[in-house]
Amino acid sequence: MNSSICAVPLLNCANQALTQRLPTALQLKQQLPLAAALSRQVADHRQAVRAILNGQDSRLLVVVGPCSIHDPQSALEYADKLAHLAHQLSDDLLLVMRAYVEKPRTTVGWKGLAYDPHLDGSDDMAAGLELSRHLMREMLGMGLPIATELLQPMAAGYFDDLLSWVAIGARTTESQIHREMASGLGLPVGFKNGTDGGVAIACDAMRSASHPHRHFGVDSQGHPAIIQTPGNPDTHLVLRGGHQGPNYSREHVAQVQRNLEQLAITPRLMVDCSHANSGKDPLRQPQVFAQVLEQRLHGNHQLMGVMLESHLFEGCQPLTGNLRYGVSITDGCLGWAATEALLSDAARQLRDARRPHPAVV
Residue 104: per-residue pLDDT: 86
Residue 106: per-residue pLDDT: 76
pLDDT in tens, 15-46: 678 889 999 999 999 999 999 999 999 999 99
pLDDT in tens, 174-229: 999 999 999 999 999 999 999 999 999 999 999 999 999 999 999 989 999 999 99
- For the chain, give the longest Cα–Cα distance: 88
Residue 102 parent element (H or E): none
Q: How far, in Å, CA of 28 to CA of 206, rounded? A: 30
- The pTM for the full model equals 0.94
Residue 107: per-residue pLDDT: 79
CATH number 3.20.20.70 is the correct assignment for the domain at 21-47+60-352: yes
Residue 6: per-residue pLDDT: 57
Mean pLDDT across the chain = 94
- Say whether pLDDT at 8 is over 60: no
Average the pLDDT over 37-56 and give the result: 98
pLDDT in tens, 246-294: 999 999 999 999 999 999 999 999 999 999 999 999 999 999 999 999 9
Q: Which residues pair with 237 in a beta bridge?
A: 191, 269
Using alpha carbons, select from 27, 60, 43 the residue that is nearest to residue 188.
Answer: 43
- Say whether pLDDT at 329 is over 70: yes
Residue 5: per-residue pLDDT: 58
Q: How far, in Å, CA of 303 to CA of 271, rounded? A: 8
**Between 200-209 and 176-183, two packed helices, what is the crossing angle to 10 degrees?**
40
Residue 18: per-residue pLDDT: 85
- Say whether pLDDT at 12 is over 90: no
Q: Which residues pair with 238 in a beta bridge?
A: 192, 270
Residue 11: per-residue pLDDT: 53
Neighbours of 266 (CB within 10 A): 17
Percent of the chain with pLDDT over 90: 89
The torsion angles phi and psi of 256, rounded to 5 degrees, stand at -65, -40
Percent of the chain with pLDDT over 70: 94
Q: How far, in Å, CA of 74 to CA of 313, rounded? A: 10
pLDDT in tens, 128-162: 999 999 999 999 999 999 999 999 999 999 999 99
Helix segments in 188-322, DSSP class H: 200-209, 250-262, 285-297
The torsion angles phi and psi of 14, rounded to 5 degrees, stand at -60, 150
Q: How far, in Å, CA of 110 to CA of 316, rounded? A: 14
Residue 13: per-residue pLDDT: 57
Residue 359: per-residue pLDDT: 58
Contacts of 216 (CB under 8 A, 6+ apart): 224, 225, 226, 227
pLDDT in tens, 57-87: 999 999 999 999 999 999 999 999 999 999 9
Q: How far, in Å, CA of 269 to CA of 307, rounded? A: 11
